Amino acid sequence: MPAGCALSTFLCDGVLDFIDQAIVSKFGDDLLFWFRFLDDTFAILADKHKLNTVQDFLNEFHESLNFTVEVEQKATSNVYAPLNTLPFLDLLLINNPAGILCDHFIKPSQTTRTINFSSAHAPNVHRAILMGEIKRSFAHCSTTTMKKRQAVRIKYKYLQNGYPESLIDTSIMKMSNLDSVTKRDQKTTQDRWIKVPYVKGITEVFSKALKGSGIKLACSNPVTIRTLSNKSRSSQHSPSQSTEGGGEQSGNAAVVYAIPCTNCPMVYIGQTGRNLNTRINEHNRCIKKADKSNALARHINDTGHEINLKGTKAVYVERNASIRLNLEAYTIAVNATRTLNISPPNSNMIAWNKLIRAYDVT
Ligand SMILES: [Zn+2]
């Protein structure tokens, strides 16, 4: 199967599951431990002389399947000598007489390069990268000495990438203290999060305006390798190219739209990822049925006005759903006094309302 094909993962899992079952039933008692993660397996054999027999059995399944084996080796660094070690995934397994120990494993090919502190990402992204690495490394360590070694490695790595020493030190301190980590995790679960694209200088102001509101910003970078390389997507408006424009664009898909009332200045603001015509037809059916849950039908019922469906305008064209929802919330917030919308405000709208009030954007 080709790599990347949707069926490949499913079929590979099936084949490897079949091999797992075959080997466990064939070698039974000789196999003290067998753990597979994707295509890497860690196993403990009761008799090391059976290793070749097991490998031959695995390689007889199919001519195109070739399994390689790594066995524990005398530690190459003085740290674990004279014990044997074996890397498995992100772990370095150490064969200690009292039981297997784990340390965080760094591939020899890995460099100390990571996202530089000066690169244009939200400050919490830099913190999260650092905290994530500390948390992951510490979780792999069986002893405090190992954690201390990881702390030294991480400090050196992040200093080289321009991170302030004080930030590195406090992050390591925080992660060393498990209690504070648990408290921090509990606290963040009560917050509501909205996803916004990161724009240096603006996101910081936005984030400040939301302080104390219980709403946090999850910043994303709208320009990714995918958006840069996928020409067919970018030609249909990439996430960073929201187009503001008037005129009837009812043939557009993925838009924030405005439907005006014929008799008063009120408008209905909505968004759809589908074709705008399809959405207008749905509104039309609701109006004909006098569906009270539809804001347009309700306005007709309350006032006797007519809705100008033909005057529907696409206010923004945006294929990225998250950005489109934010644009919709923003449009509702700046038109707050003249929208027909009846749905209760969501986190996006609360955030935009707060920002607009704080900085009087209207
Ligand atoms: Zn009206």
State in Å: Cα 5 to ligand 1 middle: 52
Domain that holds residue 36: 6-59
Q: What is the DSSP letter of 345?
A: P
Residue 83 class from Cβ within 10 Å (0-12 exposed, 13-18 middle, 19+ buried)? middle
Q: Rounded to the nearest 10 degrees, how much is the dihedral formed by the CA atoms of 302, 307, 312, 316?
A: -10
Q: Residues 53-98: pLDDT tens digits?
A: 999 999 998 888 889 999 998 887 778 888 899 999 999 999 988 8
Give mean pLDDT, residues 126-145.
93
- 199 part of a folded domain: no
State in Å: Cα 262 to ligand 1 middle: 6
How close are the terminal C-alpha atoms of the chain, in Å? 56
Under 8 Å between Cβ of 291 and 307: no
| Two tokens, residue 136 | 């992951």
Which stretches does DSSP call E strand in 281-350?
Answer: 313-317
State in Å: Cα 256 to ligand 1 middle: 20
Whether 353 and 231 share a structural domain: yes
Q: Residues 328-362: pLDDT tens digits?
A: 988 888 888 889 988 777 777 777 777 777 766 55
Q: Rounded to the nearest 10 degrees, how much is the dihedral formed by the CA atoms of 37, 38, 39, 44?
A: 20
Structural domains of the chain, count: 4
Residue 296's nearest CA partner among 261, 252, 332 is 261
Question: 31 pairs with which residues across the strands?
Answer: 45
- 195 part of a folded domain: no
3-class SS of residue 15: helix
- 217 part of a folded domain: no
Confidence of residue 191 (pLDDT cuts 50, 70, 90): confident
Helix (H) or strand (E) holding 219: strand 215-220
User: What count of residues does the chain have?
Assistant: 362
Report the mean per-residue pLDDT for the chain.
83
CA dihedral (192, 197, 200, 203) positive or negative: negative
Under 8 Å between Cβ of 1 and 7: yes
State in Å: Cα 122 to ligand 1 middle: 43
Q: In this predicted structure, what is the pLDDT of residue 282?
A: 94
Whether 41 and 77 share a structural domain: no
- 326 part of a folded domain: yes
- 246 part of a folded domain: yes
State in Å: Cα 358 to ligand 1 middle: 30
